[in-house]
Structure 1
Amino acid sequence: MTRFPRPHHDDVLIAVIGLLGGVLLWGLGLHTTAMRELMPSWVTLVPLAVMAFLELLRRSCPRAALLIGTAALIADQFTFGNLATVIMYTDLMYAAVVYGSPGAARRIPVITGLITVAMTFGALAWLRQPEALLIGVVTGLVSFAPALTGATLRNHRQAAEAARLRAQQTALLAEIDRNQAITAERARMARELHDMVANNLSAIAIHSTAALSIGEPKASADALAVIRENSVQGLSEMRRLIGLLRDSGGAGQEPAVAPALDGLDALLAQVRTVGSDSGLVFVLDDGREAGGGRLPAPVELAAYRIVQESLTNALKHASPGTVTVTLAHTDHTLTVGVTSPYGERPGPRAPGSGAGLVGMRERVTLLDGSLEAGPVTAADGTKIWQVRARLPAEDDTELYA
């Protein structure tokens, strides 16, 4: 069983006012057409009642209400006529455009406009008097004017809804951008934190294990000295990171200097001290041209961190042998390579989390470079672990001239 939707309270109010107003006009004897002697006066109330009932359906069934209302309006012209019936019909025309389908909202103003023009020329051709223009005016007021008003209101509503949706989308995109910026900043901080302290903490872990396992006082004292040195270095790096987070370039404060490739000698000197007991030898092969131009700061920082993380991994996992760091700057590309012996190693070793490789890949990806990391076979047939990064590196000398 089909149930009609409950009418809106405004529609009920319009229907009641229209019906009562029409009954009042009928009781006062106010009519809109010439007297019809063929039927009694009360017949005028039938189209009025039908039109008032259709007002209850103006939102839920606007198309059906308009079609039936048109028939009721035509029938009203063959009775004494009631102004309330005509007014309620204009409201049905307006509601059909506002609450109807998009296709109906486009077609109804056009159709009523054509009907208005046709009625105007038809009346002139039939009556051949200037007063015939009034028929076209009345037709336009009853049909085209409310349809045009409804179309205007609907267009304004659609424009307002589109503006609201655009505002929501803009707010959503802004929130997405903010979340992405926060995520990127957190990832950058995580990379910096890992790269700053991993090398020092790994050395501390290795030498603290050695100090606990070796019974010789001198060896334990040497291990403790290395632990202290790396603790101080790690604390310095942490302070530098805190300075970056606090934006320490304010008045009276020196900006924190990011590590660069010029500091690789000091970095290798440090890891030589740490890795001396592990049988590791560290060699730097800097193939860059002397005075060949300054690289962009992000490239130098990324290259330094890649070397630092690779050396840290060598301290953790490499078997005794030579760890070689190579640098080459050709064809606007900086190539960074670190090779270390691959295999089991004796003595204490620090655990690894895999975060270092992830951080290196993120750094290289941000610069649109490439990274290869994994075991390979050297020319002499031995297994080595190789890290090879290629970073786009335009000469930045002119920026500092």
Structure 2
Amino acid sequence: MSIRRPPAPLLDAALVAASLFDVWVHADASEPLRMACALAAAFALLLRRRLPRLTFLLTLPAVLLSDAVFAALAALYTLAVLTRGRTLLVVCAVAFTCSNLISLLSPGFGFSIPSTFIALGYTAATAAAPVFLGRLVQARRDLSLRLAEISRARDHERQLTAQTVLARERTTLAREMHDVVAHQVSLIAVRAGALQVGSRDAEVKQAAATIRKLSVQTLEELRHMVSVLRTAGGSPVELIPQPSLADLQRLVDNSDIETELRTDLSGSLPPPVQRAIYRTVQEALTNVRKHAPGARAAVRIRHEHTTVRVTVTNSPPTRPTLSLPSAHYGLVGLRQRAELLGGTVTCGPTTDGGYQLCLTLPVAGTRGRCEPGAQRR
């Protein structure tokens, strides 16, 4: 558990207060010069973060003329934390030692006296303590920065590894889609074509033609998806044209469902809104084919002030429903797409046993062009 450091202004105020207490203990008010130097040294600590060298120089006179040395020690510690020049720190420590030793001079001073060496050693140790402590704090700070850099580098390495794994999985998925899914859809298209040519029943021929047409479209989309999956980090793949409102009629015609389409919208809507409308109708008609065989569908798209509302309603099924696999990802995708555009998707059964899906999207500032009438398939 890391210890939370106090705010810098609070710490500076505490150091100034401690220096003033040191002045009160060691300075004599009857000696104005020493008192002024000691007070100047105490308040100079307010500059220690921005001007550490100047702060130390301002505290030296107090060491030279009085016993109030706390401010100089604090300034020396700050200098050791903020600077990397070892020579400068040695010079400052020697300056403090000499200044403090001069203030201790007495008539009996001499290097032949053992007490002189004791005072010199004590003063040098006093000057060395804040220097070593400051260097220790600086080393700890550098170590923390280095650890943070290592952590960021490891995170970047993990991201690169994850991207490599994802690219490998995409390549594997593309291979499986090409070798398995595309092959099976090709067989469906071939069999449907053979059935269309060999059958004499008109309804069977029409159904076989629809199956073959949808299979060919599915193969084209699969080929594009395979190319996208295989292009991981390479040159961008040219995207196929995105659907718009102009493609709704073709979607309804190819749905093989008796569908009534009514819309009063024009193609002036933003492309993301048009794609959302198209994908919603596409998913709804797909669900009708899967879960309501033989049902009729009605698609209503209308503009209401600053809102576009799309409603797809189907009647109850007229044939037995086949049990088909479904993970409901289609509806989840529609809801996510609508939320990105600021809209909503709701769905649920109707009172007559059918089902209804409703998309609401905001389209502020867009006006629809009225195109009355119904189109049936």
- The answer to whether the 8 Å contact 1:375/1:383 transfers is yes
Instruction: Give 1:294's aligned residue.
Output: 269
> Within the alignment, does 1:149 sit opposite 2:132 as a pair?
yes
Other structure's SS at 1:357 match: helix
1:309 Cα shift? Answer: 0.9
Ranges in structure 1 where 5+ consecutive residues have no aligned partner = 1-111, 276-280
Is the CA contact 2:295–2:318 (under 8 Å) kept in the aligned structure 1?
no
RMSD of the TM alignment (CA)? 4.9
Question: What does residue 245 of structure 2 align with?
Answer: 261
Match of residue 313 from structure 1: 287
Contact 1:282–1:322 (CA under 8 A) maintained in structure 2: yes
Q: How does 1:163-178 map to 2 (within 5 A)?
A: 163-169=146-152, 171-172=154-155, 175=158
- The whole-number CA distance in structure 1 between the counterparts of 2:219 and 2:365 is 33
Contact 1:119 1:136 in 2 (8 A): no
Question: 1:310: how far off?
Answer: 0.7
Do the aligned partners of 2:288 and 2:295 also contact (CA within 8 Å) in 1? no
2:205 to 221, 237, 242: 221
**TM-score, scaled to structure 1:** 0.48
Cα shift readout 1:235-256 (whole Å, capped 9, x = no counterpart): 2333444465578xx99x9752
Identity of aligned residues (%): 28
Which whole-Å deviations, capped at 9, do the CAs of 1:261-283 have from their partners, x for residues lacking one?
Answer: 21000000111xx23xxxxx201
1:189-208 superposed matches below 5 A: none
Contact 1:244–1:256, Cα closer than 8 Å, also in 2: no
* 330 and 137 in structure 1: CA distance in 2 versus 1, 3 angstrom threshold: farther
2:104 corresponds to 1:123: yes
Aligned to 1:346: 319
CA distance in 1, matches of 2:210, 2:332: 28
Alpha carbons of structure 1 residues 176 and 361: separation in structure 2 relative to 1, 3 Å = farther
Deviations 1:339-396 (A, max 9, x none): 1124x5415646141232222223223434321122133xxxx233111122344569
- Runs (4+) of structure 1 moved beyond 4 Å? 115-122, 126-137, 173-180, 215-218, 242-247, 394-397
Q: Distance in 1 between matches of 2:107 and 2:205?
A: 123
The whole-number CA distance in structure 1 between the counterparts of 2:160 and 2:363 is 28
Change over 3 Å in CA distance of 1:264–1:221 after alignment to 2: same
TM-score by length of 2: 0.50
Aligned to 1:9: none
Deviation at 1:179, TM superposition (A): 5.8
State the shift of 1:311 in Å.
Answer: 0.4
Q: Distance in 2 between matches of 1:129 and 1:311?
A: 106
- Supply the AA of the counterpart residue of 1:388: C
Amino acid at match of 2:213: E
For 1:228-307, list aligned pairs within 5 A.
228-242=212-226, 255-271=239-255, 274-275=256-257, 281-288=258-265, 290=266, 293-295=268-270, 297-307=271-281
Secondary structure of the residue aligned to 1:374 is strand
2:355 is aligned with 1:356: no
Aligned to 1:140: 123
Alpha-carbon distance between aligned partners in 2 of 1:333 and 1:287, rounded to the nearest angstrom: 12
Note the C-alpha offset of 1:150. 3.9
Distance 1:145 1:374, change over 3 A: same
TM superposition shift of 1:117: 11
Tell me how many residue pairs correspond in the alignment: 247
CA distance in 2 between partners of 1:160 and 1:314 (Å): 64
Residues 258, 130 of structure 1: alpha-carbon distance in 2 compared, 3 angstrom cutoff = farther
Shift of 1:163: 3.5
2:345 aligned with 1:371: yes
Highest Rg: 1 or 2? 1
Give the match for residue 361 of structure 2: 391
Tell me: CA distance 1:227–1:261, structure 2 relative to 1, closer, same or farther (3 Å). same
* Distance in structure 1 (CA, Å) of the matches to 2:279 and 2:219: 17
Report the Cα distance in structure 1 between the residues aligned to 2:144 and 2:322, rounded to whole angstroms. 64
Q: Distance in 2 between matches of 1:286 and 1:177?
A: 48
Instruction: Tell me the distance in 2 between the aligned counterparts of 1:386 and 1:308.
Output: 14
Pair 1:161-2:138 in alignment: no
User: Residues 149, 331 of structure 1: CA spacing in aligned structure 2 closer, same or farther, 3 A cutoff?
Assistant: farther
1:51-70 equivalence runs, <5 A: none
Does the 8 A contact of 1:243 with 1:256 survive in 2?
A: no
